[in-house]
Amino acid sequence: MERLQKKIANLGYCSRRKAEELIVKGEVLVNGKVVTKLGTTVKQTDVITVEGNILDNSKSYEYYLLNKPRGVVTTTSDEKGRKTVLDIVKTNSRIYPVGRLDYDTTGILLLTNDGNLANLLMQPNSLVEKTYIVKVEGIVSIADIQKLRYGIVIDGIKTKKAKVKIKSVDKVKKKSIIEVTIHEGKNHQIKKMFANLGYRVIKLRRERYANLDLKGLKPGEYRILTVKEVKTLYGLCKK
């Protein structure tokens, strides 16, 4: 038995939170009957219909790694008509991005219809590491590097310890390139961490996500994850 909203998310229809909204609105049927109670549990043999769509319990999961380019939004649709990550990754399955990258941020982004893995990766207490290459205005001091390593207060909450090192410094143009590895995923976290110390982020690229990197992928290109890579992600989530 499994909670209805979790089942809907795991089948890749939408996020668990969105599934809860649809249940409360009466948009979900189980075996032909409308269900509005969030505590409802379902069996593998139950027929679930969401917004008129019958979900396929036998569906296979798909996993994609995209090198997200600038000027693309990390969402399934955009009211402003901007290009989304789903316009790049071609599949007939209903996939969605795991987490978000800002409009002007580039780099690794995972997309899948495996709601269980997506939820595990996005949990606040997840220990999955994400590495960013950050270009900022100004010469970042050693003292500020230490502050970044031990936590910066953003939105009233101190960030957890991070791995931070200087990649290069241009004293003439007064620019610094810093590598930062975190395992949190707060909204605009990297930009806010540097802004708190008085540095403006000029470019931001996510270079690594857990066991995955951008090797062989140009901006706008993507590939399917291997079975081994998916198993490794699950293993990291369980640690």
> Which of these is catalytic: 46, 56, 87, 102?
102
Q: What is the dihedral of CA 130, 161, 142, 197, to 10 degrees?
A: 90
Torsion sign across C-alpha atoms 170, 174, 177, 180: positive
Residue type, 235: G
Q: Which of 118, 128, 110 is nearest to 65 (CA)?
A: 110
Q: Which two tokens stand for residue 90?
A: 């071609």
Cβ count within 10 A of residue 28: 24
Answer for the pair 99, 183: CB distance below 8 angstroms, yes or no: no
- Residue 5 to residue 80: CA distance in whole angstroms: 29
Q: Which of 224, 230, 226, 222 is nearest to 87 (CA)?
A: 222
Q: What is the dihedral of CA 213, 215, 220, 223, to 10 degrees?
A: -80
Angle between helices 227-238 and 115-122 (to 10 degrees): 50
| Sequence-separated (6 or more) residues with CB below 8 Å from residue 7 | 42, 48
- Residue 180 to residue 102: CA distance in whole angstroms: 17
Active site residue 102: yes
Catalytic residue positions, numbered? 102
